[in-house]
Structure 1
């Protein structure tokens, strides 16, 4: 029995969907876990912020040493860039990746414009945390533990969402190959960026010696 062009196309689409499923599953899990940890960090920072408002002398649980703490960050102008505490921004935005991740597990299909807007949010996040980490390490003189958790989840989510959009052609066909090739390297690329931040903190603040004294 001859196979029509429509049948062939249908088989090709099914194979493509099956091949893409593991990537969608990995992205969904990353978004859910990353969003949940980001919410945890934001909630903890907001709680500490309120504790300092009630009693500026309170001993915060995030204080490990003079260089590893979040009190100085919360009290700095960088901690309220938009006129309200930065953790509020996290409380408002981190539910988004959780919702998207759960939707992906349910095989919900989002339009291209949604993915581009979602990715724009991640670009804002990575630029913002890049600036905040620089301000914290080089000007405030601390490595904030809860802030570091935010850095740790935003970096792989930004990489994964951006490279996923590139791999499926949302940034043009010319970038499909690059996105597909780099997508599996998200863990390693994230690790490289973690090491960069850690080295900056160590060289500037000598974190290791402070942790053991």
Structure 2
């Protein structure tokens, strides 16, 4: 009688039989052990990247909070970033979009960034959170990403003025979200169906996702230059 051995989660094959090329495509292309030295080092690097981006975002949120407080005391106040009719923090801060929930949006930034920084610092220390916690954080920060890009589009198309601090928040939020998604995909918290799962882990493990993130940021900057160009610094 011919013995059998497990080949994958989907099927078994006779001992000594050649591996099915289709099965090989379904295999996880990266290490399966989340505690392997390579994976631990990778997770720590990702967490460091998130801490740096999150810290910049937190600092920016504090600056915007202070500006909102100054503007509440004196609606006619101007700021150092009021460079032109296009680059104007006060114009954006006085718009209804700056207080979507009835208070300055910067307060939300402080909350979002504090959560992700705490998780990232724990990740650097080697702490591993349960899947439900990481997915909850992913959902929370996806809301933050959508909100940041919505605010940018409002500034870009409706308010027609840009706040440099807000633009920085959009970039840092994008970077943190990319890092968190990278972490959740490779550690198996964020699972894609079928062959998309191994493909996504390979995509992340090889660092290819960084090209996508960089492309998004380049397009973001290009869109600003194409629409406003020389008027960015015009009075």
Deviations 1:38-67 (A, max 9, x none): 111111111111111112222202222211
How many pairs are equivalent? 201
Equivalent-residue separation in structure 2 for 1:15 and 1:198 (angstroms):
36
Distance change in 2, residues 1:124/1:57 (3 Å) = same
Structure 2 residue aligned with 1:7? none
Shift in Å, 1:132: 0.9
1:198 equivalent to 2:204? Answer no
Distance change in 2, residues 1:116/1:52 (3 Å) = same
1:169 equivalent to 2:188? Answer yes
1:179 equivalent to 2:200? Answer yes
Ranges in structure 2 where 5+ consecutive residues have no aligned partner = 1-30
Choose 155-164 or 70-79, whichever is displaced more. Answer: 155-164
Q: What is the TM-score of this pair, normalised by structure 2? A: 0.78
Residue of structure 1 aligned with 2:106, choices 84, 87, 101 = 87
Ranges in structure 1 where 5+ consecutive residues have no aligned partner = 1-11
1:211 equivalent to 2:233? Answer yes
Whether contact under 8 Å (1:141, 1:205) holds in the other structure is no
Residue of structure 2 aligned with 1:157, choices 161, 176, 185 = 176
Distance change in 2, residues 1:147/1:176 (3 Å) = same
Q: What is the TM-score of this pair, normalised by structure 1? A: 0.85
Choose 179-188 or 155-164, whichever is displaced more. Answer: 179-188
1:127 equivalent to 2:146? Answer yes
> How do residues 93-112 of structure 1 correspond to structure 2 at under 5 angstroms?
93-112=112-131
Shift in Å, 1:192: 1.2
Choose 75-84 or 190-199, whichever is displaced more. Answer: 190-199
Equivalent-residue separation in structure 2 for 1:25 and 1:140 (angstroms):
40
Shift in Å, 1:92: 1.6
**More helix by proportion, 1 or 2?**
1
Equivalent-residue separation in structure 2 for 1:205 and 1:169 (angstroms):
42
Distance change in 2, residues 1:101/1:15 (3 Å) = closer
Equivalent-residue separation in structure 2 for 1:171 and 1:190 (angstroms):
18
Shift in Å, 1:125: 1.3
Equivalent-residue separation in structure 1 for 2:134 and 2:87 (angstroms):
36
Whether contact under 8 Å (1:137, 1:205) holds in the other structure is no
Aligned-residue RMSD, C-alpha: 2.1
Whether contact under 8 Å (2:87, 2:163) holds in the other structure is yes
Choose 109-118 or 14-23, whichever is displaced more. Answer: 14-23
Whether contact under 8 Å (1:62, 1:69) holds in the other structure is yes
Shift in Å, 1:212: 7.1
Compare CA radii of gyration and give the structure with the larger one.
2
